[in-house]
Chains A and B, each alone.
Chain A
Amino acid sequence: MTDVEHLFRTYNAALVRYLTRRLGDRDWAEEVAQETFVRALRQDTITNERAWLFQVATNLVRDEARKDARRRRHLAILAEEERESVVEPESTLERAQEAVLARKAIDTLAERDRLALLMREEGLEYPEIAEALSLSPGSVGTTLSRARRRLVESYEALQKERELREKNAAS
C-alpha cells in the first residue's frame, strides 16, 4: 500500500496538531492537512515522508499564516479582555487564558524558530526538521534552543504582566 492512506493514518493527527498549534485554528488546520495529503497523492515516491509532509504543510500556510498572525494577535487581546468580564467556570476560564498566553508567547518567535519547535514537538528528528525547513542540519539545535528560551521567557513575562494587571484590578 502506498499509501496515502497509510500516510494519512500514520501522520494526520500529528500534522493536524502541528498545524493547529501553528495556526490556532483547528478547522483551518484540518483543511491544510487534507490539502497536504492530496498533494502527496500526486507524488510517485516520497523518500522521507514525515519531513516531506511537514514541509509541504508548512509551505501551504506560510504566507497566509503570517497575515493571520497579526489579525489574531489583535483579536486575542480583545478576546481576553472580553473574557475577563464574563463569568465562566474556573476551569474553562483558566484554560482559555492559558491558551491566549501561549498564543501570544509563541507569536514572539521568529517564524522559522517557531516552526522548528513545533515540528520537534511532533517528534521530528533533526535531519527531518532540517529538510522540512531547508536548514543546515547543524543549525537545528541552535534554532531549537533559541526558540525554547524565547518561548518560555515570553510566556513568563506575559504571565507576570497578567498577574500584575489582575492585582491592580483587584485593588
Chain B
Amino acid sequence: MQHPDEGTIHAWIDGALTAEEAASVESHATQCQQCSAAIAEARGLVAASSRILLALDDVPAGVVPLPVPKARAWYARNDLRAAAAVLFVASASLVVARGRQDAPPGMSDSVSRSMDTAVPTSASAPAVTSTAAAEARTMAAAPVRKVQPESQVGRQRAGAELSGDAALRGGAANSNRVAEASAAPPTAVAPIVAAPVARDRMTVTNEADFSGKGVRGGAAAGIDSGLTRRIGSSQFALEQVVVTGVASEVPRAARADASASAQALRIVRADTSQRARTIVYEVSEGVEVTLTQTEPTSFDQPTVVQGRSAGAAVQAPSAPLPVPPALATVPPVTGSPVTVMKAQINSISWADSITGRSYTLSGALPRGELEALKARIVAQRQQGVPLSRE
C-alpha cells in the first residue's frame, strides 16, 4: 500500500478497516515516516475534536419557562406526564410485542454495545506511537507509548474495556488513556500493536493505607498533564444527569445513566511525605481536588516517596472512560494552556477531632462544591472503598 489517504487513516484509527486493510496500513506505517507522522496528526485531530464536542453537552435543560402553575391541573404536572409517557411507551411496546408472531429479530451486534460506551468496540484499534515532532496537537513531551499487557507499570491490566464507568464524556469526557511505558528512547515508528488498549488499574487495598505499594502501581500515577489543560478548565457539575460523552470515549463516551455523585471519586495520585499525605481525586475529567492530611504529631511515618517518583516516571493517565481506543494522547487543543491562568483555587479545612488529623481540600471549584466533595470523600474513606477498579 502506498501512503494511505487521510480518510483511510481515520478509518484505521476508528477501527473501520478490515483486518487485511489494517495490517497493510500498519506495515506501511512502520516503514514510512511521513505516514506515521500523518497518523499522529490524525490521532490528535480525533482527540481534539472529541474534546471540543464535549463542550456542547453543557447545555441547560428546562430553559423554556413553564406556564405559571396557578391553576394547573394535577394531570398537567411534568413528572406525571413523564411517567405517563414512559407508561405509554411501555404499554405500547407490550401491545406490539403481543401482536407479534415471531420472536423479535435478533439484535444486531451494534445493540450489544450499550449506550454506555461511545467507544467503537474495535479491539483491534491499533495503538501507534508517534514522534513528538509529528504531533502538532499533542503534548510536546510525548514519550513512546507501548501497549503491553505485562507492562512495567505494575498492576496495570490490558483489556478491551467498555465499562459503563464513563462520565462525562462526558459525558464523559474521559479519555481512554493508554499507560505509557516509561522512557524508552522514542523510535521513529514504534511497534504497532493491534491489541486492546490497556486500561489503568489501581489496586490499593485500602485508601487509608498509604503504603507506597498502592501508589507504585503506577496506575495511580498522575494524569496526563495535557488533560488538565483542555480546551477550558471546564468543570462539569457533579449533578449532571445526562452524562457527556466522548466517542470516545471520548469522548467522548458517557455512561447513560450515571450521575457523578453516585460514584466514589477516583484517586488520581497519592503522595506521602513525612507528615503530610496528599490524595488527588478526580472529580471529572481535567478537574481534580487535593486532599491533604496532616498528622497532629509524630514523625514515625514511613517516608515513602515512591508515590511521587512513580507518578513522575509513569505519567500514565488512567482513564475510566472509554474513548476511541486509539486515542492514546489527549492533546490540548492549542499549545497554550489557555485555561489554567484563570482558575481560582479554593480550599476548605477541617479537623478530625478523634484522630487529631487536620485536612485540607483544595481545588479549582467553588466552595460549595468543595463542601459537597468533602462529604463524599469523607463517606468514601469511612467505607474503606476499595480502589481496585474492575
Contact = CB atoms under 8 A, between A and B. Distances in A.
B8 interface: yes
Interface in A2-60: 2-6, 8, 10-14, 16-17, 20-21, 24-27, 30, 34, 37-38, 41, 45-51
A156 B61 CA distance: 28
Contacts of A97: 232
A117 interface: yes
Contact of B45 (A16, A123, A149): A149
Nearest to A24: B59
B29 interface: no
A1 B6 contact: no
A140 to B, nearest CB: 7
Given A17-B254, A94-B234, A94-B342, A48 B110 contact: yes
A121 B248 contact: yes
Interface in A93-143: 94-99, 101-103, 105-106, 117-118, 120-126, 128, 139-143
A30 to B, nearest CB: 8
B117 interface: yes
A141 B14 contact: yes
Interface stretch (B47-55, B174-182, B308-316): B47-55
Majority secondary structure, A binding face: helix
B113 A123 contact: yes
B118 A122 contact: yes
User: Quick one: which of A2, A140, A149 has the most chain B CB within 10 A?
Assistant: A2
Contacts of B83: none
B16 A106 contact: no
Contacts of A146: 6
A25 B8 CA distance: 33
Interface in B44-101: 45-46, 48-50, 52-64, 85, 89-90, 92-93, 96-97, 100
A126 B16 CA distance: 6
Interface residues of B, number: 81
Contacts of A117: 49, 53
Interface in B303-341: 333-334, 338-339
B243 interface: yes
B217 interface: no
Given A1-B104, A90-B342, A118 B61 contact: no
A169 B235 CA distance: 26
B316 to A, nearest CB: 25
Interface of B: 5-11, 14, 16, 42, 45-46, 48-50, 52-64, 85, 89-90, 92-93, 96-97, 100, 104-105, 107-108, 110-111, 113-115, 117-121, 137, 171, 231-235, 242-248, 250-254, 256-257, 333-334, 338-339, 342-344, 364-366
15 contacts: A2-B97, A5-B93, A13-B257, A17-B245, A21-B57, A90-B233, A91-B235, A98-B234, A121-B246, A147-B49, A149-B6, A149-B45, A151-B49, A152-B48, A163-B338
